[in-house]
Structure 1
Amino acid sequence: MSNLLMIEDDARLAGMVSDYLGASDFVVSHATDAQTGLSRLQSAGVDLVILDLMLPDMDGLQVCQRIRALPGTLGQVPVLMLTAKGDPMDRIIGLEMGADDYLPKPFEPRELLARIRAILRRKSAGASSGQVLQFGSLEIDRDARRVSVKGHPCDLTSYQFDLLVALAERAGRVLTRDQIMEAVRGRELEAFDRSIDVHMGRIRAAIEVDPKNPQRILTVRGVGYVFARQQD
C-alpha cells in the first residue's frame, strides 16, 4: 500500500480522487494549500505527490522547486503535476521545475491511476536493480538511485534518473522518444512528446561538462537519442 499526498485546493476534486485511488489500495492525504502540503510531506512518509499548479498561497511550480530543494529522499519524491492550463509551455515549465509527470485537467481517473502506478513501478524497479553503471567519471547507482560525476552528486528527478538509466542500459543504441518513454513507463501512455526533450536538457545540464556540446547523450536528428559509450 502506497501513501500519496494530494496538494489541491478543490476539495470536491480531491475527495473524488481520494475515493477512486482508495479503492485501488492507495492511502491519500489531502492538503488544500502549499504550506500545509509541504509540512505534511516532511512529517509523514509519502511515496508520491499529486500537485496542483494553481494554489491559493503559492504557485505549484514554486512548491515543486521547494520539494526538490529538500534534503535526502524527501527531495526525490516523485511529483505528478495537475493543471487546468493546456498551454504546452506550461507543461515544459512544470517539467523544468522538477515534476516527474504532467496531467492536464480535466482528466480521467483511470489515466491518473495508470500514471501513478507507472511512476511507482519505475521507482521500485530502480530500487531493486542492485547494479552500478560506470561510464568513466559518470556513475549511476541504481540501488541508491544516485548519479555522480567525478564523485560529485547530480541533481535529477526520479523520472530523469529513470530516463538516464534507460539510455545508459542501451548505450550505443539509438532510441526513439516512444521507445524511451515505453522503457521508463513499462507501457505506452498518452504523453506530451516534447517532455522528453525537456528532461534530456535537464539531464545534460547535470551530467555533461558542456551541456550545449553534449558528449554523453547525443541527439540523432529526426530519430531520437543515443547514449555514447565513450569513457573519460
Structure 2
Amino acid sequence: MSADAGQRGLVLVIEDESAIADVIRLNLSAAGYGVHVEHTGDGGLAAARTLRPAAIVLDVGLPGMDGIEVCRRLRSENDWTPVLFATARDDEVDRIVGLELGADDYVTKPFSPRELVARVTSVLRRTRGTAGATAPLRIGELVLDLEQRRVHAAGTQVALTATEFDLLAYLMRRPGRVFAREQLISDVWGYSPVGGTRTVDVHIAQLRGKLGAASPIRTVRGVGYAVDRDGG
C-alpha cells in the first residue's frame, strides 16, 4: 500500500483480514489520511519502525506475532506513536492488557468505520497538542510542559502516551475539582462512554504507576478522580 502521508498524516493499519483493512483504508483516506496497510505483526512492526506513522490501528488477533506483542515491542523501544487497538474479542482482560502496554484507545469489532476515524482523529488531536498552549502546569513535584508535551516528575522526564498526557493535563488544569468517569471519557477521549468507563481507571492506574510519589491524583470513591492542589 502507498505510504503517502496524506493531508492529515500517515496512519499505519495492521490488520490481517483484507476486507476489514480495505474498509479502514477507504474511510481513513476519505477523511484525508494517508494509509499504509500491513497484514502481519512482523510486517507491521517493521513498517512502524521505518515509516514513523502519525498513528497505528492495530488488530489484536494477528497471526504469528499478535498485536499485543507488536505494541509491547514498540513501547520497549521507547516508541510512543499513538496506538488504537481493534479487537474481535469483547473481553475486558484484552482491553486492559492493551491499555497497560501503552495503547491510547481501542474499538471492538464489529465497529463503525466512522467511529474508528473519529477515534484516530481524537488521539492525533491530543498528540499534536493545543495551539496557543500557555505556561507549564505545576503541582508539587510534577511539571507538565503543554507546548512540548513533556512531563517531569521529581525532576525526571516521564514517557506518557498521548491519552495519558491529555488526561493528566485535563485534571491538573482544574485542581481540587472532582470529575466523574463519564465526564472524563466525554471531555478527554471525545466520545460518549457507551462502552463503559473502565478505560479511565486503567489510564489512571498507569499514570500513578509512572508518576510514583509525585502523582497528585486522588480517587473519590463512588464519584471519580481529582488532583490535589498541593501535590501527592
Shared fold per TM-score greater than 0.5:
yes
Q: Tell me if 1:133 matches 2:144.
A: no
Q: Letter of the aligned partner of 1:99 in structure 2?
A: A
- Partner Cα separation in structure 2 for residue 165 and residue 48 of structure 1: 21
Q: Structure 1 runs of 4+ off > 6 angstroms?
A: none
Give the alignment partner of residue 81 of structure 2, picking from 55, 77, 86: 77
Contact 1:51-1:80 at 8 Å conserved across structures: yes
CA distance in structure 1 between the aligned counterparts of 2:38 and 2:57, rounded to whole angstroms? 10
**Residue type of the alignment partner of 2:146:** R
1:231 CA displacement: 4.5
Secondary structure of 1:182's counterpart equals helix
Amino acid at match of 1:11: S
Figure out how many residues of one structure are paired with residues of the other and give that number: 225
Q: Which amino acid aligns with 2:202?
A: V
Aligned residues of 1:126 and 1:162 also touching (Cα < 8 A): no
Equivalent position to 1:60, from 67, 71, 74:
67
For 1:20-35, what aligned pairs fall within 5 Å after superposition?
Answer: 20-35=27-42
Q: Are the structure 2 counterparts of residues 82 and 128 from structure 1 closer, same or farther at C-alpha, using a change threshold of 3 Å?
A: farther
User: Aligned letter for 1:56?
Assistant: P
In the other structure, the counterpart of 2:151 is 147
Q: CA deviation at 1:54?
A: 1.0
Once the two structures are superposed, residues 26-76 of structure 1 have per-residue CA deviations (whole angstroms, 9 ceiling, x without a partner) of 1110011112112211212311100000111212111111121224xxx12
1:151-170 equivalence runs, <5 A: 151-170=155-174
1:160 CA displacement: 0.8
Per-residue deviation at 1:127? 6.8
Task: Give the structure-1-normalised TM-score.
Answer: 0.90
Q: Show the counterpart of 1:100.
A: 104
Q: Give the unaligned 5+ runs of structure 1.
A: none
1:50 to 28, 53, 57: 57
Q: CA deviation at 1:185?
A: 2.8
Residue matched to 2:20: 13
Paired residues of 1:174 and 1:220 also in contact (CA < 8 A): yes
Greater CA drift, 182-191 or 4-13: 182-191
Q: TM-score, normalised by structure 2?
A: 0.90
| Equivalent residue number for residue 41 of structure 1 | 48
Is 1:127–1:144's contact at 8 Å kept on the other side of the alignment?
no
SS in 1 for 2:177: coil
